[in-house]
Structure 1
Amino acid sequence: METTSRRFFIEIAFNGGSYHGWQIQRNAVTVQEVLDKALSVVWHQLITTVGCGRTDTGVHAKQLYAHFDVMDDGPFDQPDKALHSLNALLPSDIAVKRFIAVAPDAHARFDAVNRSYEYHMHFRKDPFLHGFSWRLRDVPDVEAMNKAAKILLEYEDFSCFSKSNTQVYTNICRITQAVWQWEDDGRLVFRISANRFLRNMVRAIVGTLMEIGRGEKPSDYIHTVISSKDRSVAGASVPACGLYLTEVVYPYF
């Protein structure tokens, strides 16, 4: 009997503290490597996923999608069992939420129309936030940072926030949300959404906004940073532990 290839999306969440990001690398453990090995065991065939984008070392994801092809339905005859089997194989810091059957040409990276991130910081010692939020001593000027964050929506070329020597075809991104908000537990969270992000972009933006929040630069300095198209003009990247990929949106589900 002839076998046919089918494509599925997989939705996962992970604590990135033990991984060198999403994408497979030599001599480093990544989320993609661990996931691909588990999928290959469950389906009894070599499976290679394609993620919706990269995450840096130590960055977390509340929602990340990847797609993969299988030569037949196999375990999808019993999807609940397949989900249980895969989660049983994966370590406790990676969880699979669901599988979604998609068209053969659906693409986890290129078809995404919006992505959202959060950056978390806190100001009192809390053992339950260690590794999941950046602890600071002094509270920054949130009003000034929000004034600067709003300016981000006026621009599309974010070369100044891109990691050097990345192989991307464009540094154009359309930011639709950028705001700092206080949470009830005392955390300060930066939320940002765009159609795409450059490598290290969110951590560089937060670092630049923190310079403004500490009073080192005025809010309108963000114009100077973006217009420069120079990474050295922007602020230092903040620690990865506070960054979360929170949502990826597609037009077909």
Structure 2
Amino acid sequence: MTKVRFTVSYDGTGYCGWQKQKPEDQVSVAQVIEEALQKIFNEKIVLFASGRTDAGVHALNQVCHFSTQRVLDPAKKWDFCWALNTHLPAGIVVKKAWIAPEEFHATLSATHKTYRYLIMNKPRPSAHLSRHMHWARLPIDIEHLKASSKFLLGNQDFKSFQSVGTPVKDTIREIYKAEWEWRREGVLQFTVTGSGFLKQMVRNIVGTSLMLEKKGLDPSKMQEIIEAKDRKQAGPPAPAEGLYLMRVYYPQDLDIRCLEL
């Protein structure tokens, strides 16, 4: 068996998320890619990813792997990405691919991830960017957002930001970076890097941050919400269209042993 690792970028609009769902008439990103892979390799393909993204959420560098019975030779420089992209819709693009060592696993080998959330903060929405940014009409105080985000850093129990869904062993995660900044005039971005994220955790953090700012509550309220370990104490989730999976990190010893296709 040959294990293939690849990165894929996708526009999550119109998909039920990364993972296959029931009822089966809902189309997932993973399903579309698996069907394309099966056309190329003419065998049953089971696809694994670094993690799931929800309906409407986008990715710039989702990491996946699958195994195939076909023997692939990196020296022959087969353009795997081009071959796969010819079978994919325009909103899903495979960017790079490698032959990975047997012990590599897109889900289990990941050490941490970076997500980004975009907010258009202008009096009028954009007809062209509405699927890719959350729109907020009233002015937002970025200094308030920066102050509340400081309480997210470190190893903590983030149960207050976990939506109902996939069960997990525990809700403790470590956040290394949580920064708000102006991406450009009228566009805010929140970048967060952590050891892992609970279901809708980033969207719930953003929604809570905006709630605290809108109500004029002290930024330290964020710490109280975290310590409560109660989802009802936090704000509503921010809309899916503003969220992007930016990067997934893996141990260097696995990265250097991946041979580019």
TM-score (norm 2): 0.91
Q: Which residue of 2 aligns with 1:43?
A: 41
Where structure 1 has 5 or more consecutive residues not aligned to the other structure, the ranges are none
Amino acid at match of 1:83: C
The alignment status of 1:6 with 2:15, answered yes or no, reads no
Q: Which residue of 2 aligns with 1:220?
A: 220
Amino acid at match of 1:222: M
SS in 2 for 1:72: coil
Q: Which residue of 1 aligns with 2:188?
A: 188
Write the distance in 2 (CA, Å) between the matches of 1:18 and 1:94: 12
1:77 CA drift (Å): 7.0
After the TM superposition, which of the residue ranges 122-131 and 176-185 deviates more from structure 2?
Answer: 122-131
Contact 1:208–1:235 (Cα < 8 Å) also in 2: yes
After the TM superposition, which of the residue ranges 153-162 and 224-233 deviates more from structure 2?
Answer: 153-162
Write the distance in 2 (CA, Å) between the matches of 1:81 and 1:203: 36
Q: Which residue of 2 aligns with 1:129?
A: 129
SS in 1 for 2:21: coil
Contact 1:43–1:74 (Cα < 8 Å) also in 2: no
Q: Which residue of 1 aligns with 2:107?
A: 109
After the TM superposition, which of the residue ranges 201-210 and 67-76 deviates more from structure 2?
Answer: 67-76
Write the distance in 2 (CA, Å) between the matches of 1:57 and 1:13: 15
Write the distance in 2 (CA, Å) between the matches of 1:170 and 1:110: 16
Contact 1:36–1:48 (Cα < 8 Å) also in 2: yes
Write the distance in 1 (CA, Å) between the matches of 2:244 and 2:31: 20
Q: Which residue of 1 aligns with 2:156?
A: 156
Amino acid at match of 1:240: A
* Per-residue CA distance 1:76-118 (angstroms, 9 max, x = gap): 6754433212101000000001111111121101111110011
Question: In the TM superposition, what are the counterparts of 1:42-61 in structure 2 within 5 Å?
Answer: 42-61=40-59
Contact 1:42–1:82 (Cα < 8 Å) also in 2: no
Write the distance in 2 (CA, Å) between the matches of 1:230 and 1:20: 27
After the TM superposition, which of the residue ranges 65-74 and 170-179 deviates more from structure 2?
Answer: 65-74
Write the distance in 1 (CA, Å) between the matches of 2:75 and 2:91: 27
The alignment status of 1:21 with 2:17, answered yes or no, reads yes
Query: Structure 1 residues 172, 95: closer, same or farther in 2, change over 3 A?
Result: same
Question: In the TM superposition, what are the counterparts of 1:129-148 in structure 2 within 5 Å?
Answer: 129-148=129-148
SS in 1 for 2:215: coil
Q: Which residue of 2 aligns with 1:88?
A: 86
Q: Percent identity?
A: 31
Query: Structure 1 residues 106, 155: closer, same or farther in 2, change over 3 A?
Result: closer
Write the distance in 1 (CA, Å) between the matches of 2:141 and 2:130: 23
Query: Structure 1 residues 78, 186: closer, same or farther in 2, change over 3 A?
Result: farther
1:249 CA drift (Å): 0.8
Contact 2:154–2:176 (Cα < 8 Å) also in 1: no
SS in 1 for 2:192: strand
Question: In the TM superposition, what are the counterparts of 1:220-239 in structure 2 within 5 Å?
Answer: 220-239=220-239
Write the distance in 1 (CA, Å) between the matches of 2:226 and 2:127: 37
What is the aligned-residue RMSD (CA, Å)?
1.5
TM-score (norm 1): 0.94
Where structure 2 has 5 or more consecutive residues not aligned to the other structure, the ranges are 256-261
SS in 1 for 2:79: helix
Amino acid at match of 1:136: A
Runs of 4+ in 1 over 4 A off after TM superposition: 74-80
